[in-house]
């Protein structure tokens, strides 16, 4: 499913929780990349913790690395 870009989803996003090596090692900012799409820094892939996220589960996502590869919408709703 596509993920709405809203505050409820943003607060549940784990990207900026201090638990994602890709986010932390690339010194990213923001979050909710599954709705908002790629981070402009073109981050290096380390590890993605999206499957632990309640947003990922609620919208039945199945992809990883939205910060690198683009939003769920750009990836066929996955």
Give the shortest CB-60-to-ligand SF4 separation in angstroms: 11
Q: Which of 5, 15, 30, 78 binds ligand SF4 (CB under 6 A)?
A: 15
What tokens does 77 get?
Answer: 């709703």
Sign (positive or negative) of CA dihedral 64, 69, 72, 78: negative
- Residue 7 vs 64, nearer CB to ligand SF4: 64
Q: Which of 76, 74, 75, 73 is nearest to 2 (CA)?
A: 73
Give the shortest CB-24-to-ligand SF4 separation in angstroms: 9
Does 65 contact ligand SF4 by CB under 6 A? yes
In the DSSP assignment, the letter for residue 71 is -
CA 52, CA 71: separation in Å to the nearest integer? 17
Does 32 contact ligand SF4 by CB under 6 A? yes
The neighbour count for residue 50, using CB atoms within 10 Å, is 21
List contacts with ligand SF4 (CB under 6 A): 13-15, 20, 22-23, 28, 31-34, 48-50, 53, 55-56, 61, 64-67
């Amino acid at each position: 499913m596509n993920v709405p870009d809203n505050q409820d989803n943003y607060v549940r996003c784990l990207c900026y929780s201090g638990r994602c090596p890709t986010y932390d090692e690339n010194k990213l900012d923001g979050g909710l990349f599954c709705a908002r799409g790629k981070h402009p820094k073109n981050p290096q892939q380390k590890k993605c913790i999206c499957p632990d996220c309640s947003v990922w589960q609620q919208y039945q996502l199945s992809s990883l690395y939205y910060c690198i590869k683009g939003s769920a919408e750009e990836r066929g709703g996955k």
